Amino acid sequence: MTYNFRLFWRMAYRSFFKTANTPGRLTKKRLIFLILFYIVWIPVTIFTWICFGLDEIFFPAYKNHLVEKPLFIISNYRSGSTFLHRLLSQDQKNFTSMRTWDIYLTPSVTQRKLVDLLKKLDSLFGSPIYTLIKKIDQMGLQKVAIHPISFFEPEEDENILLHNWASFLIIYLFPFLDEIPPYHFFDRDLPAAEKHRIMGFYKSMLQRHLYATGASHFVSKNPSFSAKISTLKEFFPDARIIYLVRNPLDMLPSTVSWLNYAWNVFSEPAEKYIYRDEICEFTQHW
């Protein structure tokens, strides 16, 4: 497993020193976000990778865990995949999914074991930490417009690729589409070695999740995986894929609105709607 340091630091340099005439112009709001992001993300990433290393020492058996018949829900954005994903995830006898908490805070087996221990300790004192987290979840994440988020709900596990900085979702935080490798044309345009590096990391994350939970079948929903179908079939030969279709006349404007809403959370683009041509191009490909 490797981290894409080159892209990480290139994005950092671009964000602070080359933002003129870009959607990521360095406004006060953008500067505050960048400072907070790096203060939080760098320590979290370092700790997470230390825990990945500890997995190799204390839980090496995860590498032998089979990912049997995973179910991948793919589509363009705004096509009902979240509803279907969360509906299927309620069938906990047959499926398991990664929650937002699992993706960002406990992607390793070691972190999950530590959190399990903290839960037990917290419960001895009336669960004050859990209560605080629930309040933060209800006051903040669940009020996100268009696509409500919760620590405790299944989420797009494409986000887990942020831990090796190799995800199309980086553009939400860093709206420099010209700097991003062609993750949105994954099978078609990425070199084979890079595809294998990224998908090898992703598979190891699924193995960790299944090993830690003891669950059998993984269900995933990722619109951006529409660009990864060939590589998914290579790494998961018995995978099952559901592709959802929505009328493009409804899907496309909703996608433009959603992506631009996300960009305006973390940035202040001068234009109301950015990257319209690029969005049309990759949605057509997906």
Contact 114, 64 (CB under 8 A): no
Where the chain has pLDDT below 50, the residues are none
Report pLDDT for 137. Answer: 85
Question: What is the pLDDT at residue 142?
Answer: 54
**Token representation of residue 208:** 């960790």
| pLDDT at position 149 | 85
According to the model, what pLDDT value does residue 140 have? 66
Rounded Cα distance between 256 and 57, Å, is 45
Distance of CA 222 to the CA centre of its chain: 9
Query: SS3 helix, strand, coil % of the chain, rounded to 5?
Result: 60, 5, 35
Q: What is the CATH number of the domain that holds 265?
A: 3.40.50.300
* Number of domains forming the structure of the chain: 1
* Residue among 57, 100, 101, 67 at smallest CA distance from 82: 100
In the prediction, which pLDDT does 148 show? 75
What is the reported pLDDT for 139? 79
Q: What is the H or E stretch that residue 213 is in?
A: helix 192-213
Show the domain range for 62.
5-285
- Give φ, ψ of 78 to 5 degrees: 60, 40
